[in-house]
Amino acid sequence: MPTQTQPPRQTIHIPKLPSQKPSPPWHTHLTIDLLSTVLRRSLFHPGFAWMIPLSLRAVTVPYEFLSMRLSIAYASLLTLLYILSYFNERVAFGTAREMDWEEEVVVITGGAGGLGALVAGFYGRRGVRVAVLDVKGVDEGEEEDDGDVKYYRCDVGDAEQVEACARQIREDLGIPTILINNAAIINAKSILNLRPEEVEKTFRVNLLSHFHTIQTFLPGMLEEQRGTIVTVASVLGHIGCANLADYTASKAGLLAMHASLRAELHNSQHPGAPNIKTVLVSPGQLDTPLFAGMQTPSNFLAPVVQPVELAKEIVRMVDSGSSGEVMMPLYARWIPLHGVLPVGVQKVIRGWSRADEAMLSLTRKKGL
């Protein structure tokens, strides 16, 4: 009797990331973000707050007692804020769309390494069809197409290359319904030292590529009447930074472009427009090769964001089928308010953050 052989196991290639650094001391994990998460899930959560008056009532504390009244008032306030927050999200971003992962096709720009590779890995392991667009190839000697994650060598700053890849993706995987615009480069040079071609390349990769991909893939999403577009910007787009003029200007352009995209979809008469969701990602300093060597002024107040944590948040938001914003770490949520502060206060904050000094030291290390 012939023996049965097992079918060859299909593997999904996940690009290798740089080797992990030695584990930092335990106290570096104690950050304001961690404390905020703990408080939001305990003392600042309505369910937890209502346990206080219920516990007091369980030991027969009268309603007239001050402790009982204060606990009820506190729980009621948190409940009201929770309800208002829900309606705020609903008014701002509308209802979530249904996610059918057997029909979804994900396109990720700059996905051959770093944050993009992590997001591609998350979806690839789940069997979701993923197309990665990057000027870099996968590891030499390995096939570019591996399992449900397919790699396309493409300069997303070139509209013709994006259109050519889009046609190939349609043939290979189907109509893309999730677009994650992640590709970015950095020069870390003074304005006086930036060459015109460097500025142009930064804008092509960091900003114009978003126009190319949206103009190429959005029509298909409208045709399918479902889709999600993720814009990876930066908090530096709100405040600028010394020796990053081209980078921060391109990221500021993304903030305006994303707002305009949301407005156009909201006012569009196309029947598929309401089901096109948009997600804005504005992280602080990431622990990636782009910003290797930069020192955060305070690990407690301004921790460096680990790419895997940001990737999880992006995947969670996309999976929810909702529009929204991903801002990490905690201080990133308050950065937009920086521009409305008095100029003197802004200067004090910039001096305390030492962001400009950090970039200057990074530039010196690179000899730029």
Catalytic residues, by residue number, are 247, 251
* Separation of alpha carbons 307 and 313, rounded Å: 10
What number of helices (H) and strands (E) belong to the chain? 12, 8
CB of 154 closer than 8 Å to CB of 131: no
3-class SS of residue 229: strand
Residue 71's CB: how many other CB atoms inside 10 A?
21
DSSP one-letter string for 69-92: HHHHHHHHHHHHHHHHHHHHHHHH
Cis status, amide bond into 329, omega within 30 of 0: yes
Please report which helix (H) or strand (E) contains residue 325, including its range: strand 324-326
- Determine how β-strand 145-146 pairs with β-strand 129-134: unpaired
- Determine how β-strand 149-153 pairs with β-strand 145-146: antiparallel
DSSP one-letter string for 92-146: HH-PPPP--TTT-EEEEET-SSHHHHHHHHHHHHTT-EEEEEESS-SSTTS-SEE
Handedness of CA 296, 302, 307, 309 (dihedral sign): positive
